[in-house]
Chains A and B, each alone.
Chain A
Amino acid sequence: DTAVSQTPKYLVTQMGNDKSIKCEQNLGHDTMYWYKQDSKKFLKIMFSYNNKELIINETVPNRFSPKSPDKAHLNLHINSLELGDSAVYFCASSLPSGGYEQFFGPGTRLTVL
C-alpha cells in the first residue's frame, strides 16, 4: 500500500504552459507539504497545509498555487511555467501529534523546455 503517492512521476512541458501535480496520502495525516529539490539536491519547503488550511507559504512565485480539496489530497498547480521551475517536487505528510517526522512521496521530476 502506497503511503504518499504523487502523479505524474515525470512531467516534461514547454515554457508558458500550465501544469498540475497531484498528491494523495492514505496515512490519515492532517498536515501536508510541498517541497522543491533543485539540481544541487537542496530541499526547500514551499507550502504546508493543515486540515485544508494554508499554514506555510514561503517565498514562492504566485504562479504556484496549492489546492487541498480534503485532508488526504494536496495538489500543486503551476501557471506560466519557466525554465527555472525545472526541479523535483516532493509531497509529504505528517501526523497531528507525536513529533515532526514527515513521510515523503516519490517525487515528480518537472522539466521545462
Chain B
Amino acid sequence: AQSVTQPDIHITVSEGASLELRCNYSYGATPYLFWYVQSPGQGLQLLLKYFSGDTLVQGIKGFEAEFKRSQSSFNLRKPSVHWSDAAEYFCAVGVSGSARQLTFGSGTQLTVLP
C-alpha cells in the first residue's frame, strides 16, 4: 500500500528566508504527487503537482518541488518566504485506478517569523 511521510511536524522560518519542506513516499509504480496548502479555517488548495516529465515543477505562489525517484522524495521549496505563507502543508500521492484515491502525509505546520 502507498504511504507518504512528512518528517517535519513543525518548521519555523524568518520572513525572507528560504524554505524546504520534506516529503517521502512509498508506492510501487510511478506516482502522481501533489502539494496542498491549508490556511487556518480553510480548505485545501493545490500548490503544484507532478505527473510525468520534467522533475522540477513550478506551482502557484512562487513554490516549486523536485521529484527524485532515487530518493522517493518530492520536496517543496520556496526561495523567499512571505508572512502569508504561514499554513499547514500536505504532501499527497495519487493511487492508480478508477478510484483516483489520494493518500496524504501528516502535514507540516509552517510558522513565519517577522
Contact = CB atoms under 8 A, between A and B. Distances in A.
Interface of A: 4, 31, 40-45, 48, 50, 55-56, 90, 92, 94, 99-107
A46 B86 CA distance: 28
Contacts, number: 60
Mostly, the B contact residues are strand
Interface of B: 32, 34, 36, 38, 42-46, 49, 51, 88, 90, 94-95, 98-104, 106-107, 109
A105 B100 contact: no
Contacts of A102: 46, 100, 102
B3 to A, nearest CB: 13
Given A40-B106, A41-B88, A42-B107, A90 B34 contact: no
A101 B49 contact: yes
B46 A43 contact: no
Contact of A56 (B36, B46, B99): B99
